[in-house]
């Protein structure tokens, strides 16, 4: 099942994709796709609906982030060994965690702002995990039962703010629009193996990133279990699981985004995103 939120920013409505990829309106069934509607019980109810019986949404509306009112946006750094190598760092012995402000979240095809004073804005295609039920001190064996689904994320980063401004990574990760998410929230039964998902990212049509989740250092189930040892994960929380190699910081010489450039990215089963870079 592929759940969406569509419409103008701040006025998104819930929807589901039918067999032809068209949006069907869920407004008569649920108010939104958020913490209140991601429980296993409600997702089971939604999966039992026949999309053909729901109103068809005309045209090609804007996609919003497929999860509304995200509670925590937790990110994992250096979670692909080859990406760690390109940044000159050793693979970490435990997951590196940081946060992205939820005000950074935007739709998958919204413009992305280059912050004022920035000349090191970078891209990062990632698999995102959406939590569906409360997780505290969960085991790896039980971790996936707390997952509502998966989303595509571009963990946009400002490298100077991240590493050279006397603070934690959140400074370089949280500018408005630095969290394009979606287009869909895809429920777990759609994937045969979440640890075998291809990811890619292009800048102005030139391939920059190619990767697969099988090369993650820490798996999805390990990350959910690990993070739940330090904080309670609540429905609607998002975990962005790290990026494969090919970021601008790792290029020789390092190459960063400029106003007017177009970033496109995608992952198998999770859809695609397209963003134009604009000046804040």
Strands 147-154 and 179-180: what pairing? unpaired
What's the pLDDT score for residue 90?
Answer: 84
Assigned token pair, 144? 């996936």
User: Per-residue b/e over 143-152, b at no fewer than 16 CB within 10 Å?
Assistant: bbebbbbbbb
Predicted structure pTM score:
0.96
CATH 3.90.850.10 fits 73-279, yes or no: yes
Distances (CA, A) of 198 to 178, 212, 262: 22, 4, 21
Write out pLDDT tens, residues 148-182: 999 999 999 999 999 888 888 999 999 999 999 99
Contact 237, 74 (CB under 8 A): yes
What's the pLDDT score for residue 82?
Answer: 80
Average pLDDT, integer, range 22-51: 96
Question: Residues of the chain with pLDDT > 70: what percent?
Answer: 100
What's the pLDDT score for residue 113?
Answer: 98
Omega before 183 cis (within 30°)?
yes
Phi-psi region of 258 (alpha: psi -120 to 50; beta: other; left: phi over 0): beta
Higher pLDDT, 87 or 211: 211
Higher pLDDT, 88 or 141: 141
What's the pLDDT score for residue 86?
Answer: 80
| Residue ranges of domains in the chain | 2-53, 73-279
């Amino acid at each position: 099942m592929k759940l969406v939120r569509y419409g103008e920013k701040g006025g998104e409505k819930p929807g589901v994709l039918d067999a032809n990829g068209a949006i069907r309106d869920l407004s008569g069934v649920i108010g939104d796709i958020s913490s209140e509607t991601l429980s296993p019980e409600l997702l089971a109810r939604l999966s039992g609906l026949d999309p053909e019986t729901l109103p068809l949404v005309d045209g090609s509306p804007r996609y919003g982030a497929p999860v509304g009112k995200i509670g925590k946006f937790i990110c994992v750094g250096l979670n692909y060994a080859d990406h760690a190598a390109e940044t000159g760092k050793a693979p970490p012995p435990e997951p590196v965690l940081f946060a992205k402000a939820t005000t950074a979240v935007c739709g998958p095809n919204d413009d992305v702002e280059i912050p004022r004073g920035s000349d090191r804005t970078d891209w990062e295609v990632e698999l995102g995990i959406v939590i569906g039920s409360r997780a505290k001190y969960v085991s790896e064996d039980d971790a996936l039962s707390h997952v509502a689904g998966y989303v595509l994320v571009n963990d946009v980063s400002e490298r100077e703010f991240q590493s050279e401004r006397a603070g934690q990574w959140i400074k370089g990760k949280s500018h408005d629009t630095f969290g394009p998410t979606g287009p869909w929230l895809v429920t777990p039964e759609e994937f045969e193996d979440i640890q075998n998902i291809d990811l890619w990212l292009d800048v102005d049509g030139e391939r920059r990133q190619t990767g697969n989740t099988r090369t993650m250092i820490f798996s999805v189930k390990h990350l959910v279990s690990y993070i739940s040892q330090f904080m309670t994960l609540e429905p609607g929380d998002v975990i962005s699981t790290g990026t494969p190699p090919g970021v601008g910081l790792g290029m020789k010489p390092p190459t960063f985004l400029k106003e007017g450039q177009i970033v496109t990215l995608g992952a198998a089963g999770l859809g695609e995103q397209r963003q134009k870079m604009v000046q804040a």
